[in-house]
Structure 1
Amino acid sequence: MSEKEIIERELVERIKNDDESAFIEVYDLFWKRLFNFGFKKLGKKEIVEGIVQEVFIDFWSKRKKLEIHTSLSSYLFSAVTYRIINQYKSQSIRDKFSEMEKSKGERSSSSAEEKVLYNDLKSNIKKVVGGFPPQRQKVYKLRFNKGLSYIEIAQNLEISVSTVEKHLMRALKDIRISLRELSL
């Protein structure tokens, strides 16, 4: 086992024992590398920043149950890779949905089932968003209803970009969980 692997294992053990300073070491050691890796794959700064933040949030929140069978480096890069793949899938679904919406205007009528499903989805998302804390609700609406960038939202609400990211990550996670529960 190399010295690097020993250091990484020690850091993981410290993190499992709630050592925030070890987590900060890992964050400082890997954030930029993970961001650069993700940016090469995705090419979208704000999305990659959000992905890397989500990986670290999950890493910390699941610290007690962490089972890393490879190196810490491999674990984190794999986590970013999977999130990028999910981003591609999500974008593909959004693109298909957008295309479907555009073609609705071209078609004279769409099926009743599609309308019901669309209205249910819209209604469920609106209900989940309505249950958000006020600040998260504002951030969500500025991003998805008004189409503002993270920076514009931060300036508009006089908060940091990382706070905007945290609100949006939590909002999207809550929506995903809610929609997943509906499909069960």
Structure 2
Amino acid sequence: MGAGGISDREKEIMLRLRCGEERAFEELYRIYSVRIYRSILNMVKDKEVASELLQDVFIKVWEKREVIDPENSFRSYMFTIARNMVYNYLKRSSLEMQMTAYMAATKSEFYTHVEENVLHQEIEDSLNTAIDMLPPQRKKIFVLCKIEGKSYEEVSRLLGISMATINDHIVKATHFLKNQLKDISQTYMVLLFTFLDF
């Protein structure tokens, strides 16, 4: 057992992860995913949201793998990322609720309904157009994970590729989509980023 209660095994996995080793990423996923999921679920009280946020946590871990400090607890690092993800999710959810309340308070019921339908249709059209611009494999992975809601493990088995590869595709797809949609009005961006952010 190393300093601070960190095992030599955990240090070794973190060092391998820093070097971009996909197997190390998958080992850490197996070790921590259930505990992180339960923690997130306890905060958001929604299984679907918790599953989505769990995937976003591991996307962030993969993105930031080069700055992971093997001398510090990986468990604490993961839970800190998870808490920040939940905080951002709850903040976005609150903003959406405020927007909806404002629309309901300032417009007639019919007009609000029509405006919301138009807004959601334009969001959907913009997003679908951008998704269609992704490379075929990246599009397939993005749709399976983000649209159909499949877990990385399910997609890994379905396509015969590693979860780290799936992570990489999701990160690149999300950045591409945000860049493609950056000129959309602020109202649209709030709702789109609720879907795309991690």
Q: Same fold (TM over 0.5)?
A: yes
Q: Deviations over 1:83-108 (max 9, x none)?
A: 0000110000110111122223349x
CA shift in 2, pair 1:93/1:39, >3 Å: same
Superposition misfits of 4+ residues, deviation over 4 angstroms:
121-126, 134-140, 159-163, 169-183
Tell me the residue number matched to 1:132.
Answer: 131
Q: Deviations over 1:135-166 (max 9, x none)?
A: 689789xx7xxxxx84xxx7xxxx99955xx8
CA shift in 2, pair 1:174/1:50, >3 Å: farther
> Which amino acid in the other structure matches residue 22 of structure 1?
A
Tell me the residue number matched to 1:48.
Answer: 50
SS at match of 2:20: coil
- How big is the alpha-carbon RMSD for the aligned residues of Structure 1 and Structure 2? 4.1
1:104 to 103, 106, 110: 106
Tell me the residue number matched to 2:95.
Answer: 93
> Which amino acid in the other structure matches residue 130 of structure 1?
T
- Higher RCO (CA-CA < 8 Å; seq separation 6+): 2
TM-score w.r.t. length of structure 1: 0.64
> Which amino acid in the other structure matches residue 132 of structure 1?
I
Tell me the residue number matched to 1:66.
Answer: 67
SS at match of 1:132: helix
Tell me the residue number matched to 1:34.
Answer: 36
Flag structure 1 segments of 5+ consecutive residues without an equivalent.
110-114, 144-148
TM-score w.r.t. length of structure 2: 0.60
CA shift in 2, pair 1:19/1:136, >3 Å: closer
SS at match of 1:18: coil
Counterpart-to-counterpart distance in 1, 2:143 and 2:19: 36
> Which amino acid in the other structure matches residue 104 of structure 2?
K
CA shift in 2, pair 1:86/1:181, >3 Å: farther
Contact 2:40–2:50, Cα closer than 8 Å, also in 1:
yes
Tell me the residue number matched to 1:146.
Answer: none
Q: Deviations over 1:60-119 (max 9, x none)?
A: 2332x2233631001100000000000110000110111122223349x9xxxxx9xx97
Flag structure 2 segments of 5+ consecutive residues without an equivalent.
133-138, 156-165, 187-198
Counterpart-to-counterpart distance in 1, 2:32 and 2:88: 21
Counterpart-to-counterpart distance in 2, 1:48 and 1:5: 28
